[in-house]
Chain A
Amino acid sequence: MAVQHNPLWTRWFHAFDALVLLVMVGSGLQIYNANPVFGSRGGATFPQLVTLGGWLAGGRYWHLGFMALFALNLGIWIGLLLQHRRRHLAQLADVVTWRGSQNQAKRRYSAHRLIYTLMLVILGFSLITGLAMYKPVQLWWLSGLFGSWQMLRVFHFATIPAMVALVISHGVLSWRIGGWSLLRKMAV
């Protein structure tokens, strides 16, 4: 059966995005475990199953090693979306369509655009809060925007559950829109 695959580079970029995100989340949770954001030294930690790096120093290797790649990736992604902004970037009208339209296909399309755009906002936010903690001496004005150090940590961490929710929504929605054939177009 012939599947109309997406262009090779699209599929590679999609897989690469997923990999970079996985590395950043896994190593981020490893760093989290060294001193839980919630509860400090008495706080609950994440199981080793979802962490990357083995210990704090290893987690930092991965997190800071992939940091530049993550930023570059995000930049390319934003650039591509802006280039195709009328097709992919959400507008206020999408919220209206998503909430009110009777046309299901239109609603799903709007929902998808909203998810793409929200992902970029969340990832951009994770980059900004991450930089504010990585270079708090020179970027003191950035770190200062988030109130206390603890608030900064909470904001940075909160991008993980937000992204997980968006990725799940993205997967479910893609499945509803295109099912197996869409999955094959992008992933297989």
Chain B
Amino acid sequence: MDADQTSAPCLNRRQLLKAGLGVGGSLLLGGCWADGYGEDVANATRPLNERIEAWLQSKGPGPEFPRSQVRPEELLLNSFNGVPALDPASYRLQVAGLVGRPLSLDLAALAALPQQEMIIRHICVEGWAAIVAWGGVRLADVLKLAQASNLGSYVYFDSADGYYESWDIASAMHPQTLLATHMNGEPLPAQNGAPLRLATPIKLGYKLSKWVTAIRVEPTLMASRKGYWEDQGYEWFAGL
């Protein structure tokens, strides 16, 4: 045994353990004051993360699943303000903004467009996921029908309950981004967004507005109005 070790122990093992727990604890407690710096961390790393996400998404379609893997009970419900009452007969989807042909589509007009069904994994920012079969029209088809301008880089969505969202145009034009009217082979239930909601495998659930009533093509992103959750701090791109 060297001299160092005999002379050094001014703490026994238990004391050291306590000290260690104290330091660890205060570092974790430090998390409370560090909480506020999260936004700085995000701002430093997000541009790169987003660029990688967008690049990955251009690499091909998202995975689809066999119907046997659909688990309706795994799809949890989120709504910031209950379920709005919408009358299917008077429902109109407005498409406006930077478009050559503004639209006001009723449900029959939407049903007359080419229909698509996809079985994808719906992933919530909270961490849970569910495999769901969504059916409806491609958002890209509606935007083309409205002759969306090349200058429109962003697409805004307004919902009947006051929820609002904004997307980049590339994600909106993605072949798996749907304006869904059906879920798991049935007409969309009210609590899931009837008569019309967004569905895609490439974005987190909070980007997928329910009860959509209006679509606007915009040249810019309004910094103070990016989306209901985004304006409170959620990440805007939210790509998967």
Which residues does A use to contact B, with CB under 8 Å? Answer: 1, 3, 22, 26, 31-32, 34-35, 37, 40-41, 48-62, 64-68, 135-138, 140, 144, 149, 153, 171, 175, 178-181, 183-184
Contact = CB atoms under 8 A, between A and B. Distances in A.
A52 B240 CA distance: 23
Given A52-B35, A58-B233, A64 B49 contact: yes
The winner among A51, A60, A171 for most chain B CB atoms within 10 A is A60
A51 B31 contact: yes
Given A50-B28, A64-B49, A35 B127 contact: yes
B8 A149 contact: no
A40 B76 contact: yes
A52 B31 contact: yes
B38 interface: yes
A159 to B, nearest CB: 15
A26 B28 contact: yes
Interface string B45-75: 1101100010011011011000000000000
Interface of B: 4-5, 7-11, 13, 16, 20, 24-25, 27-29, 31-32, 34-36, 38-39, 41-42, 44-46, 48-49, 53, 56-57, 59-60, 62-63, 76, 121, 123-129, 201-202, 229, 232-235, 240
B5 A179 contact: yes
B32 A137 contact: no
A62 B127 contact: no
8 contacts: A49-B29, A50-B28, A54-B32, A57-B232, A65-B44, A137-B56, A180-B10, A181-B4
Given A56-B125, A58-B38, A138-B57, 12 more contacts: A1-B4, A1-B7, A48-B32, A53-B31, A54-B38, A57-B234, A64-B42, A64-B49, A65-B38, A137-B201, A180-B9, A181-B8
Given A65-B45, A137-B201, A34 B32 contact: no
Contacts of B124: 35
A61 B4 contact: no
A32 B126 CA distance: 8
A99 B95 CA distance: 71
Contact of B62 (A31, A140, A180, A184): A140
Contacts of B38: 52-54, 57-59, 61-62, 65
B42 A61 contact: yes
Given A22-B27, A26-B28, A138-B56, A34 B41 contact: no
B11 A180 contact: yes
A188 B238 CA distance: 42
Nearest to A2: B4
A141 to B, nearest CB: 9
Return the 6 tightest CB-CB contacts between A and B, nearest first.
A54-B35, A65-B41, A35-B126, A61-B38, A61-B42, A140-B63
B62 A41 contact: no
A48 B49 CA distance: 27
B233 A57 contact: yes
Contacts of A22: 24, 27-28
B4 A175 contact: no
Given A50-B28, A58-B38, A137-B240, A32 B127 contact: yes
A52 B207 CA distance: 24
Contacts of B235: 57, 60
Contact of B59 (A61, A68, A138, A180): A138
Contacts of A49: 25, 28-29
B126 A175 contact: no
Contacts of A175: 13, 16
A34 B125 contact: yes
Nearest to B62: A137
The winner among B35, B62, B123, B233 for most chain A CB atoms within 10 A is B35
Contacts of A51: 31
A180 B8 contact: yes
